[in-house]
Amino acid sequence: MRRLGALALLALSACGPDMAKGETGFETPQSGSAFLKPDTRALQSDDFANPGFLWVDRGEALFARASEGGPACASCHDGGEHTLEGVAARYPAIDDQTGELFNLERRINACRSRHQGEPPLEHESEALLSLTAYVAHLSRGVAIDVETGGAARPYYEAGREYFFTRRGQFNLSCHHCHDRNWGQSLRGDTISQGHPNGFPAYRLEWESFGSLHRRLRDCDTGVRAAPYPAGSDTYVALELYLAARANGLAMESPGVRR
Ligand code: HEC
Ligand code: HEC
């Protein structure tokens, strides 16, 4: 009953007229880690204790390993001109060859098929999570800076639309919790501004490492709406809106979350 109570309160606070679209409810973005309990935050900050580094290390090993059909990731992205340092902070981004929006997972799979002759890895598979963790980690401390104009515009608009749409049995949108009610307590969490910069991340509740899309599925499920599959077009577009909303915020993956 306590859970219903907390959500009912949020719904109540969400009854007023909706803010104009595009308004974020904060002046400067604040990382989700700022809303964690001190011990969880400390776990993230300690590279030896942070369990996310297991996935970064696995990703680094996969990155260096030659594939069946072609060269290793590392033989093309060996630092120098094709370094991947700072790259993740620009994702999701438009792929020039197809004109489609790629998040990091899609980009990695495109490199596998285009440059290694390998089949795509499944979203949330250990291998794709590890490679994504490794590439994201190469941008740790780099400010998010995604492009929202040009070919990216329709994706950005679709993501923003999703963010402001009420859904589920509780009839709440992302905006209600992460723009209007951040800083409030809910089910043992302090609601953050809902930024993507810590992902992929280790979640204590999952007892595992997961993608941003897995977190989005949890938020949709939390209001009793049907979640989209991880890797879906809907969540990739939403990912772009979230990144744009967080532009300027430093990348933190591998984050640790409750
Ligand atoms: C009922 C309130 C609620 C709604 C609605 C909601 N979330 Fe969340 N969300 C939470 C809570 C609680 C957490 C965990 C604590 C926090 O905010 O980091 C969370 C976490 C997140 C995070 C991870 C932040 C971090 O740093 O770990 C993201 C990203 C996010 N939500 C995005 C969304 C999006 C996008 C939607 C809409 C599809 C949404 N949320 C809907 C309550 C909500
Ligand atoms: C044979 C060389 C080659 C291999 C092997 C390769 N890539 Fe790439 N990668 C490229 C090229 C070329 C691009 C530019 C986009 C394109 O042409 O597909 C690229 C782009 C990227 C980008 C985006 C860079 C940006 O600036 O947006 C990432 C991230 C990436 N690769 C990761 C990987 C990973 C991870 C692997 C291994 C699974 C890998 N690549 C394997 C050649 C390669």
pLDDT tens figures, 1-11: 344 456 666 66
Regarding the beta carbon of 127 and ligand 1, being less than 6 Å apart is answered no
Cα separations (Å) of 233 from 59, 82, 92, 173, 243?
24, 27, 12, 19, 15
Domain 30-37+149-253: give its CATH code. Answer: 1.10.760.10
What is the model's pTM? 0.94
| Pick from 28, 10, 1: nearest CA to 193 | 28
Is residue 219 flagged as an active site residue? yes
106 Cβ closer than 6 Å to some ligand 2 atom: no
Share of residues in the chain with pLDDT > 90 (%): 85
Nearest CA to ligand 1 atom 37: 174
Q: Whose CA is nearest to atom 23 of ligand 1?
A: 194
Tell me if residue 105 falls in helix, strand or coil: helix
Which pLDDT band holds residue 81 (cuts at 50, 70, 90)?
confident
How far is C-alpha 200 from the chain's CA centre?
6
196 pLDDT more than 80: yes
Lowest-confidence segment of 1-5, 118-122, 226-230 by average pLDDT: 1-5
pLDDT at res. 80 = 78
Domain boundaries for CATH 1.10.760.10 within the chain: 30-37+149-253, 52-137
Which of 20-24, 115-119, 200-204 is predicted with the least confidence, judged by mean pLDDT? 20-24
CATH assignment of 52-137?
Answer: 1.10.760.10
